[in-house]
């Protein structure tokens, strides 16, 4: 058997076409919609961009499979294309889906708005309470769906138990591991059938494309690829090229992001303007022990509860120079958002409160800048918030 290469090596070398094309060390872009084939070939064997089978796609599929330790990999036009196509491959009218109760908003909307229209029923579960899962299984349950690290409170469910539970009940287990990336978690090793990514985020890492990726056993991935071919959510070859290039530095980037985020979380925790830092690397995070067990690193995502109103926070965030106020995550640039106003703006205030998302919560996707520069950017903003809050507190004391 071929030796499984270590992640940094696989990120750079897995899937590369050999011999190199004209000696090019970097895989060229095959900007050709169609490819010559042998008369008599089947439709799915023809080379065509929408069929996700150009040399750029093939190389990426092998690279992603190698990174995740799966038999096969696949890329798609976006994370949502990968997620929706995977669910539509396995679920049909009359089926039932068990889904984690806190999911990325786009996935959540698909589950609540689209799947019921197609005759698929959805029940939500708490990923931290394995004892509550069995009673939710119905005779028509087909899939269990979770996220490795949730947004924005960065919760880590009992993922090993979830994969075991899915096996016991013959359910297809799918996990969106976007926040963890293969550097911090390999869900297929835990026993999940399919790992999904918004490759827009850590896999690509440069905030310059939208892409999706998945990996798992070959028959399942092949079925998903067929569905993707029908739905048309293919990744353009130029985006393939950028994703391919981005993946080569994945381990360097995420390693740095793990270290910087931990350091930043510790500094934030000690600042008087901060009420609470949600980061799985901090001992007071409710899932810290589990995160230590499951994750290689605690990731680059955190959220911070500030002692100020949403408006006061917005005003201070306008003064940031290194960090950008922007949605998305996982790139080399540090991005900051206020979820109540961005990713979770579609919820009512009561729903947000129930989900633990206050107006004073900010989410940070820590990039690859020097952590001292990030702190120098953020600290004066926190100091200003603190100065505004302290006199009030003194008055009411």
Which residue number, 47 or 79, has a Cβ lying nearer to ligand PLP? 79
Residues 6+ apart with CB under 8 A from 393: none
Binding marks (x or -) toward ligand PLP, 126..155, rule CB under 6 A? ---------------------x---x----
Q: Which range of residues in 64-72, 132-140, 173-181, 277-285 is near ligand PLP by CB under 6 A?
A: 173-181
DSSP 112: I
Do 206 and 177 contact (CB within 8 A), yes or no? Answer: no
Q: Which range of residues in 89-97, 110-118, 171-179, 286-294 is near ligand PLP by CB under 6 A?
A: 171-179
Residues 189-208 that bind ligand PLP (CB under 6 A): 198, 200
- Complete DSSP assignment for 226-246: HHHHHHT-PPPHHHHHHHHHH
Which residue number, 144 or 308, has a Cβ lying nearer to ligand PLP? 144
Q: Which range of residues in 176-184, 223-231, 258-266, 378-386 is near ligand PLP by CB under 6 A?
A: 176-184
Do 150 and 177 contact (CB within 8 A), yes or no? Answer: no
Which residue number, 110 or 375, has a Cβ lying nearer to ligand PLP? 110
| Phi, psi dihedrals of residue 365, rounded to the nearest 5° | -100, 105
Q: Is 176 in the site for ligand PLP (CB under 6 A)?
A: yes
Sign of the dihedral through C-alpha 113, 119, 124, 130: negative
Which residue number, 316 or 365, has a Cβ lying nearer to ligand PLP? 365
Query: 């550097």: which residue's tokens?
Result: 183
Q: Is 246 in the site for ligand PLP (CB under 6 A)?
A: no
Burial class (CB in 10 A: 0-12, 13-18, 19+), 2: exposed
Q: Which one among 180, 210, 368, 385 touches ligand PLP, defined by CB under 6 A?
A: 210
**32/322 Cα distance (integer angstroms):** 39
Could you list the active site residues? 50, 104, 176, 201
Residues 6+ apart with CB under 8 A from 330: 178, 179, 181, 198, 200, 201, 202, 203, 204, 205, 300, 365
Q: Which one among 78, 102, 251, 303 touches ligand PLP, defined by CB under 6 A?
A: 78
Of the candidates 169, 112, 114, 177, the one whose C-alpha atom is nearest the C-alpha of residue 142 is: 169
Do 262 and 281 contact (CB within 8 A), yes or no? Answer: yes
* Cβ neighbours around 58 below 10 Å, total: 17
Which residue number, 212 or 237, has a Cβ lying nearer to ligand PLP? 212
**Least separation, in Å, of the C-beta of 2 and ligand PLP?**
31
Half-sphere exposure of 397 (CA within 13 A, CB side): 6
**Least separation, in Å, of the C-beta of 307 and ligand PLP?**
27
**Least separation, in Å, of the C-beta of 183 and ligand PLP?**
16
Burial class (CB in 10 A: 0-12, 13-18, 19+), 379: middle
Give the count of residues interacting with ligand PLP (CB under 6 A). Answer: 15
Residues 278-337 that bind ligand PLP (CB under 6 A): 328
**Least separation, in Å, of the C-beta of 80 and ligand PLP?**
4
Q: Which range of residues in 72-80, 88-96, 263-271, 275-283 is near ligand PLP by CB under 6 A?
A: 72-80
Q: Which range of residues in 53-61, 74-82, 152-160, 284-292 is near ligand PLP by CB under 6 A?
A: 74-82
**365/302 Cα distance (integer angstroms):** 7
Do 215 and 72 contact (CB within 8 A), yes or no? Answer: yes
Q: Is 106 in the site for ligand PLP (CB under 6 A)?
A: yes
Q: Which one among 84, 178, 258, 260 touches ligand PLP, defined by CB under 6 A?
A: 178
**Least separation, in Å, of the C-beta of 289 and ligand PLP?**
23
Which residue number, 241 or 375, has a Cβ lying nearer to ligand PLP? 241
Binding site for ligand PLP (CB under 6 A): 78-80, 104, 106, 147, 151, 176, 178-179, 198, 200, 210, 212, 328
């Amino acid at each position: 058997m071929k030796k499984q290469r270590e992640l940094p090596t696989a990120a750079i070398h897995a899937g590369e076409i050999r011999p190199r094309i004209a000696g090019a060390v970097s895989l060229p872009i095959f900007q050709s919609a169609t490819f010559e084939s042998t008369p008599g070939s089947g439709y799915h064997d023809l080379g065509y961009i929408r069929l996700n089978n150009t040399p750029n796609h093939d190389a990426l599929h092998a690279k992603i499979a190698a990174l995740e330790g799966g038999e096969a990999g696949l890329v798609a036009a976006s994370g949502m294309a990968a997620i929706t196509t995977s669910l539509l491959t396995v679920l049909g009218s009359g089926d039932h889906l068990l889904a984690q109760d806190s999911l990325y908003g786009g996935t959540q909307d698909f589950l609540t708005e689209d799947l019921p229209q197609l005759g698929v029923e959805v029940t939500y579960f708490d990923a931290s309470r394995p004892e509550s899962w069995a009673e939710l299984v119905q005779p028509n349950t087909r899939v269990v769906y979770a996220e490795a690290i949730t947004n924005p409170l960065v919760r880590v469910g009992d993922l090993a138990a979830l994969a075991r539970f899915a096996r016991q009940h013959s359910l297809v287990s799918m996990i969106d591991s976007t926040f963890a990336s293969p550097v911090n978690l390999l869900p297929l090793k835990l026993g999940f059938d399919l790992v999904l990514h918004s490759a827009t985020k850590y896999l690509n890492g440069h905030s310059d494309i939208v892409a999706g990726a998945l990996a798992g056993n070959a028959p399942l991935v092949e079925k998903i690829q067929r569905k993707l071919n029908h739905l048309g959510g293919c990744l353009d070859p130029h985006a393939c090229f950028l994703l391919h290039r981005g993946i080569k530095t994945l381990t360097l980037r995420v390693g740095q992001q793990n270290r910087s985020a931990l350091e930043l979380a510790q500094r934030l925790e000690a600042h008087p303007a901060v009420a609470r830092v949600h980061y799985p690397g901090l001992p007071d995070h409710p899932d810290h022990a589990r995160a230590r067990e499951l994750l290689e690193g605690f990731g680059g995502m955190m959220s911070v509860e500030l002692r100020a109103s949403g408006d006061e926070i917005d005003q201070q965030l306008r003064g940031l120079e290194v960090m950008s106020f922007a949605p998305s995550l996982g790139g080399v640039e540090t991005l900051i958002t206020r979820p109540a106003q961005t990713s979770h703006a579609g919820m009512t205030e009561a729903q947000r409160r129930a989900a633990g998302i206050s107006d004073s919560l900010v989410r940070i996707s820590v990039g690859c800048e020097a952590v001292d520069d990030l702190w120098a950017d953020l600290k004066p903003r926190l100091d200003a918030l603190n100065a505004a809050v302290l006199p009030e507190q003194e008055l009411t004391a």
